[in-house]
Amino acid sequence: MRLLLIAGILLAGLGGFIVVKGLHFQSEGTVHVGPISGTVHEQHTIPAWFGWVAIVGGVLLVVGGIRRKR
């Protein structure tokens, strides 16, 4: 019961952070073409709809935790 509440609050908080601030991460790789090599940096962004899904899921977990308590 309490675990559902805590998980729901954390998930909704993470979703709110993604919606408001956005979440970015980088991936790095090395490219070899013959004797030449280079490093490639790519920046990826988590879409805002993923944050909204996390918020809705968090709210559902909180509601489920409250209803299960009764």
pLDDT at 69 > cutoff 70: no
What pLDDT is stored for residue 2 in this prediction? 87
Q: Tell me if 70 sits within 8 A of 2, measured CB to CB.
A: no
Is this structure's pTM higher than 0.85? no
**Alpha helices by DSSP H, the chain:** 2-20, 48-69
What pLDDT is stored for residue 48 in this prediction? 92
Q: What is the pLDDT of residues 20-45, one digit of tens each?
A: 998 888 989 998 888 888 998 999 99
**All structural domains of the chain with their residue ranges:** 1-21+46-70
pLDDT at 70 > cutoff 80: no
Mean pLDDT of 10-16: 95
